[in-house]
Amino acid sequence: MASGLAGRVVLITGASSGIGEALAREVARRGGRVVLSARREGRLEALAREIRAGGGEALTVRCDVTRDGDVERAVAAAREAFDRLDVAVANAGFGVAGRVEALSIDDFRRQFETNVFGVLRTVKAALPELRRSRGGVAIMGSASGYLAVPGMSAYTMSKFAVRALAETLRGELHDDGVAVTHVAPGFIESEIRRIDNAGALREGAREPLPRWLIMPAKTAARQILDAIVARRAEVIVTGHAKLGVALARHAPDLVGAVATRLSRKARGKGP
């Protein structure tokens, strides 16, 4: 891909905010044609207008990845408008927080329906077109796909699951010429930390993390697209994510001890 993505068609789920929105702008900046999909049509249309005003090509398709058939409609729209699909970015997701004993089975089910089955729906819908183009699929995981964090069981489980999916697909699709890139971000500028356990944005809620710890979405998007273009197996985004993943891989006992201490402090049981 000489200039990165010139002329190529990229489908992004969860494109109405955060990493997905930043990825869409970066695809357009690199000359790619972008298919924007998410539930919030107003935001998608505003983003598409911005991209078109800058000379780019953008198509919007309302899409809920928890509903059978929605991602297939987005893929069909991409094929009808652009006659191809080169990259699918399975980005849509949110986080359910809470201790295992405090969460209901429905909380876990809701988390998996978006973060796991939504990714799976995206992959399965896009695969026929990606095989034709010998393109790539990017699966949005997380550093939490390596690190089990107390109080985030549902989210962490979902990200471990999509990492396993990416690793499985990589072997299955190798002979088809389809690249699979697992994306493992740390803390990125987005709305995810202001979304409740039902998946709704808490308007007016404040960002709970210090600003210095959060990478701008634009910076993350550049790193992610560099990895997709290079057909890399994985990209870990942010320094703290790289450190956390390295510790999880090479010092699991240390990570476990820290997690236990954090859990005890959260419950008021001291060090």
The H or E element containing residue 59 is: strand 57-62
Single-letter amino acid code for the residue at 200? A
Q: What is the DSSP letter of 49?
A: H
Dihedral of the alpha carbons of 249, 100, 106, 112, in degrees to the nearest 10: 0
| Enzyme catalytic residues | 155
- DSSP string for 163-178: HHHHHHHHHHHGGGT-
SS (H, E, C) 75-144: HHHHHHHHCCCCEEEECCCCCCCECHHHCCHHHHHHHHHHHCHHHHHHHHHHHHHHHHHCCEEEEECCHH
Question: Which pair of tokens denotes residue 32?
Answer: 């790619």
Is the CB of residue 9 less than 8 Å from the CB of residue 59? Answer: no
Neighbours of 200 (CB within 10 A): 10
